[in-house]
Amino acid sequence: APTIRRTDYQPLAWTVEAVDLYFTLDATATVVRNRMRCRRQGTGPLVLMAEGLERLSLTIDGAPAETVRETDTGLEIDLPDDADEAVVEVVTRCDPSANTELSGLYHSGGGLYTQCEAEGFRRITAYPDRPDVMARFTVTLEADKAAFPVLLSNGNLVDSGDLADGRHFAKWDDPFLKPSYLFALVAADLVVLERRETTRSGREVLLQVWVEDGNLDRAGHAMDSLVHSMRWDEATFGLELDLDRYMIVAVSDFNMGAMENKGLNLFNAKFVLAKPETATDVDYEHIESVVAHEYFHNWTGNRVTCRDWFQLTLKEGLTVFRDQQFSADMLAAAGGESARAVKRIEDVRVLRTAQFPEDAGPMAHPIRPDEYQAIDNFYTATVYEKGAEVIRMLHTLLGAEGFRNGMDLYFSYHDGQAVTCDDFVEAMSEANGVDLDQFMRWYSQRGTPRLRAEGRFDAAARQYTLTLTQVRPDGDAPLHIPVALGLIGPKGADLPLTLAGEAVGTVTTRLVELKDTTTTLVFEGIDAEPVPSLLRGFSAPVILELEEDDRRLAFRMAHDSDPFNRWDAAQRYMLRVILAMSADAAKGELPQVPEPFMSAFGALLHNEKLDPAYRAVALTLPAEAYLLEQMSPADPVALRRALIVLMRHLGERLADSWLGLDTRLAVAGDYRYHPADAGRRALRSLGLRYLCAAGVSQGVERALARATGESHMTDRFGALAALVNSPASAEAAIALADFERRFAKDALVMDKWFAIQAGAWRWIDSAQPALARIEALMGHPAFSLSNPNKIYALFGAYFRANPAEFHRADGAGYRFWADRIRDLNGRNPQVASRMARVLENWRRLTPALQSAAQAQIKALLADKALSADVREVLEKALG
């Protein structure tokens, strides 16, 4: 596939001002009549993109089109030089039931649904399918009434009624200009949960959550989340819902999480449906944030959209930041500031697990990429998560009020436009009178910058000198980096920070703006050597390099007043211990757990002043993917051995504490989604993980009772996970069978059942390898290769969450991977390419694993039928 470059952007010669679509819907043959009012804005032909469509007719101003050229991407039509306007009508046919890619118009569970971002609209009709073409849409849907009783599209319902032969129609009008990627339709047999709300300016709006019959009792949390999102955006950014009606529709087969189509959000059902018996606290939290994310896109993405797909982070980074802030505010309102800190920790954990490895591998790209072959490959952790960190830095540098002023100015300039990241940062700059030219480098540099810190204490001068040096991966120009920092005194209290030449201050956390490669800070009035606490709250997405011995880490684990850094100190300590233990395991020695680490860990566990939710994140070991990234060479089997020894030790030695906690922190009464309750449940489930890992019989008994008893999903699943990842294989088998019996007919819950088995660690050498179990589960009646959630659950969990079992010495994991990619490539290239990416960092593995992985990648690339999506990923991986 050709490489598309950011700097090649050109406006189209012809744009569309208004489009009228008439759909004659049918599961196997849908006919779309598309009438576009086109306007000239430059020289050249009218360009229409089209993919896999059967063209039935094409007319220009009512006459059959004559000069039509077929191109690789669609059609080009020459229009008279003196024409400034043309009405172009194109009629095409497509087959939704044959659309296994789930891009464009497709069939799922008896209904018809669309997904158009990024380039799916061209699979529905011929159109200038680019985000800089913003048109007014009117849409008429016509279908068989019995098969498709509900007909939805964007905007307002302006007409509907019955037609002959049992058919009916609905006509929708979207008053807002929009790009084609925000188009959506639904034709299905659904039921609705409705609520009426009044916006801040007093308009009444209708909110709807559409689900399959039988799921209404699972729609309430999504509805609540929507209302909370509305209120938050009004209060925080003064942004109101602009439509009379706002719809969310749950779809079972969906490639991504959800899609922000104007007024008609389509969601992967897993981010809508929840009730206590079927969804965990984590599911509730995800639903709230995804509902918020799509809702916030209505302004950041829809009202102001992207000029081209290179600007994707303009809407995604900003909207992820907004949903993170929203969730943090919601959590803090219910659970206090500690709950806010836990949210920040979770977000950084995702960044480090998913984005740092991407930024260190062959797919590394700036948050605004410079080139791509398949845009679908660039819906990445870098564009989303690192993009959100870049926006967060602006928020940190400008303050909440300055940031708000920048947002206001951005909307005042660009409402209704398709713009670039520069436009956003310029609005922030202008509103605050701040120069952000250097800051813009965050948009063009790839790789995770390192921040090297060195401290020197001068007792005689009572000074502490801190030298901070930025190291950029490609040796690029220095970045503008906000660093929040503090100094901790010997007794554990923060010291007031006074820089040389300043009046004596009282502030104990300061924000320093690094703009040069090296910055030296001299703090005065320091009487004893302090312990630095740098990058508080993770104020910038960098890797901090600071020499700290075990005692310092333990000290910060006990005293750092910044909850993020306190957690991070524990993570650093764990990382150090695990890497040393893995090195022993790699040499065939029995890894040892250092005693001082046990005390530091125990002190956190026993600290009743810390919220359970906080203790749960602080006592969770770093993710395996993150640990592998820090290991060279990456040796997944040695790492797993070390983790097993460590978990066993933590479970055995602290057994009484875990059991005591488990009793004391039990939550009484009915399930409610609340951060305080969720924190207690999380800590109890974590305790069961350690107890079961160590085979502590009381822990195993409690886990089995909780996994199989009358419980809600959070406790049930926590207990099941503890058993499956433990040497208690007999109890695990009982719990798995019980779970299967209860939920066999519940697709979303069965996804959990598949994933937990695919990700299962092997605690006993004789236990069944994950791969053998997965191969057997592929034949399970609840499994389906056409459902992306099933692919992510069974294969994704194996490839990503079970490195020791996937990277097997005999190469069987890689062969299985290659077979799955080959198979998925033909069905659904987007999903195939996501799965293909799991081996992109193969060069970091041990030599034997490298050659086995490379052989499979090469074999795949020899296949001529490989999609552009998968090919781009594998070619980059091979380098």
Nearest CB to ligand DPP, comparing residues 293 and 344 = 293
* Opening angle at CA 694, ends 690 and 698, nearest 5: 85
Strand 543-546 to strand 531-534: parallel, antiparallel, or no bridges (unpaired)? Answer: unpaired
| Count of residues making up the chain | 879
**Site for ligand DPP contains 616 (CB under 6 A):** no
* Site residues (CB under 6 A) for ligand DPP, limited to 76-95: none
**Contact code string over 292-311 relative to ligand DPP, x by CB under 6 A:** -xx--x--------------
Residue 699, φ and ψ in degrees, nearest 5: -65, -45
Indicate which of ligand DPP, Zn ion, none lies near residue 256 (CB less than 5 to 8 Å, by partner kind).
ligand DPP
> How near is the Cβ of 249 to ligand DPP at its closest, in Å?
14
Q: Are 727 and 764 in contact (CB under 8 A)?
A: yes
Nearest CB to Zn ion, comparing residues 424 and 763 = 424
Q: Which of 592, 705, 602, 588 is nearest to 655 (CA)?
A: 602
Nearest CB to ligand DPP, comparing residues 108 and 138 = 108
The footprint of ligand DPP on this chain (CB under 6 A) covers a number of residues equal to 9
> How near is the Cβ of 241 to Zn ion at its closest, in Å?
17
DSSP secondary-structure letter at 311? G
Nearest CB to Zn ion, comparing residues 19 and 418 = 418
Nearest CB to ligand DPP, comparing residues 365 and 641 = 365
Distance CA 306, CA 795 (A): 33
**Which residues, in sequence order, are CB contacts of 856 under 8 Å at separation 6+?**
811, 814, 815, 817, 818, 839
Indicate which of ligand DPP, Zn ion, none lies near residue 259 (CB less than 5 to 8 Å, by partner kind).
ligand DPP
Total H helices, total E strands in the chain: 27, 31
Nearest CB to Zn ion, comparing residues 319 and 856 = 319
Distance CA 804, CA 236 (A): 45
> How near is the Cβ of 703 to Zn ion at its closest, in Å?
37
**Site for ligand DPP contains 117 (CB under 6 A):** yes
**Site for ligand DPP contains 662 (CB under 6 A):** no
Distance CA 786, CA 768 (A): 27
Q: Are 488 and 515 in contact (CB under 8 A)?
A: no
- The first and second tokens of residue 328, run together, are 């943090």
SS (H, E, C) 58-113: EEECCEECCCEEECCCEEEECCCCCCCEEEEEEEEEECHHHCCCCCEEEEECCEEE
Candidate ranges 5-13, 135-143, 223-231, 290-298; the one touching ligand DPP (CB under 6 A):
290-298
Candidate ranges 200-208, 258-266, 443-451, 865-873; the one touching ligand DPP (CB under 6 A):
258-266
Indicate which of Zn ion, ligand DPP, none lies near residue 117 (CB less than 5 to 8 Å, by partner kind).
ligand DPP
Q: Which of 567, 643, 658, 554 is nearest to 606 (CA)?
A: 658
**Contact code string over 309-348 relative to Zn ion, x by CB under 5 A:** -------x--x-----------------------------
Q: Shortest Cβ contact with ligand DPP: which residue?
A: 117
> Side chain identity at 375, as an amino acid letter?
I
Nearest CB to ligand DPP, comparing residues 142 and 294 = 294
Nearest CB to ligand DPP, comparing residues 103 and 448 = 103
* Site residues (CB under 5 A) for Zn ion, limited to 277-316: 316
**Site for ligand DPP contains 264 (CB under 6 A):** no
DSSP secondary-structure letter at 483? E
Nearest CB to Zn ion, comparing residues 137 and 379 = 379
SS3 state of residue 649: helix
Q: Is the backbone of residue 228 left (phi > 0), alpha (psi -120 to 50) or beta?
A: alpha
Nearest CB to ligand DPP, comparing residues 131 and 455 = 131
> How near is the Cβ of 316 to ligand DPP at its closest, in Å?
6
> How near is the Cβ of 743 to ligand DPP at its closest, in Å?
28
> How near is the Cβ of 379 to Zn ion at its closest, in Å?
9
Given 233, 253, 316, 869, the residue binding ligand DPP (CB under 6 A): 316
> How near is the Cβ of 260 to ligand DPP at its closest, in Å?
5
- CA–CA distances in Å: residue 694 to residues 171, 681, 766: 62, 20, 17
**Site for ligand DPP contains 624 (CB under 6 A):** no
Candidate ranges 289-297, 603-611, 822-830, 834-842; the one touching ligand DPP (CB under 6 A):
289-297
**Site for ligand DPP contains 259 (CB under 6 A):** yes
Residue 589 catalytic? no
> How near is the Cβ of 129 to ligand DPP at its closest, in Å?
15
Indicate which of Zn ion, ligand DPP, none lies near residue 385 (CB less than 5 to 8 Å, by partner kind).
none
Nearest CB to ligand DPP, comparing residues 117 and 389 = 117
Indicate which of ligand DPP, Zn ion, none lies near residue 327 (CB less than 5 to 8 Å, by partner kind).
none
Burial of 570 (0-12, 13-18, 19+ CB in 10 A): buried
> How near is the Cβ of 337 to ligand DPP at its closest, in Å?
28
Q: Helix axis angle, 770-777 relative to 747-758, nearest 10°?
A: 150
Nearest CB to Zn ion, comparing residues 169 and 176 = 176
Nearest CB to ligand DPP, comparing residues 294 and 624 = 294
> How near is the Cβ of 265 to Zn ion at its closest, in Å?
11
- The first and second tokens of residue 309, run together, are 């797909």
> How near is the Cβ of 300 to Zn ion at its closest, in Å?
9
- The first and second tokens of residue 388, run together, are 């959100």
Distance CA 380, CA 593 (A): 37
**Site for ligand DPP contains 808 (CB under 6 A):** no
Indicate which of Zn ion, ligand DPP, none lies near residue 750 (CB less than 5 to 8 Å, by partner kind).
none
Strand 450-458 to strand 481-488: parallel, antiparallel, or no bridges (unpaired)? Answer: unpaired
**Which residues, in sequence order, are CB contacts of 715 under 8 Å at separation 6+?**
681, 684, 685, 706
* Opening angle at CA 330, ends 328 and 335, nearest 5: 90
Rg, Å, the chain Cα set: 28
SS3 state of residue 371: strand
**Contact code string over 859-878 relative to Zn ion, x by CB under 5 A:** --------------------
Q: Are 75 and 69 in contact (CB under 8 A)?
A: yes
Q: Which of the following is catalytic: 294, 624, 629, 805?
A: 294
**Site for ligand DPP contains 256 (CB under 6 A):** yes
Q: Is the backbone of residue 718 left (phi > 0), alpha (psi -120 to 50) or beta?
A: alpha
> How near is the Cβ of 573 to Zn ion at its closest, in Å?
35
Count of C-beta atoms within a 10 Å radius of residue 123 = 24
**Site for ligand DPP contains 260 (CB under 6 A):** yes
Distance CA 800, CA 357 (A): 12
**Contact code string over 342-361 relative to ligand DPP, x by CB under 6 A:** --------------------
Distance CA 525, CA 731 (A): 61
Indicate which of ligand DPP, Zn ion, none lies near residue 75 (CB less than 5 to 8 Å, by partner kind).
none
> How near is the Cβ of 295 to Zn ion at its closest, in Å?
11
Q: Are 808 and 823 in contact (CB under 8 A)?
A: no
Indicate which of ligand DPP, Zn ion, none lies near residue 312 (CB less than 5 to 8 Å, by partner kind).
none
CA 836 to chain centre: 18
Q: Are 266 and 184 in contact (CB under 8 A)?
A: yes
**Contact code string over 499-538 relative to ligand DPP, x by CB under 6 A:** ----------------------------------------
| Binding residues vs Zn ion (CB under 5 A) | 316, 319
| Binding residues vs ligand DPP (CB under 6 A) | 117, 256, 258-260, 293-294, 297, 316
Q: Could you list the active site residues?
A: 294
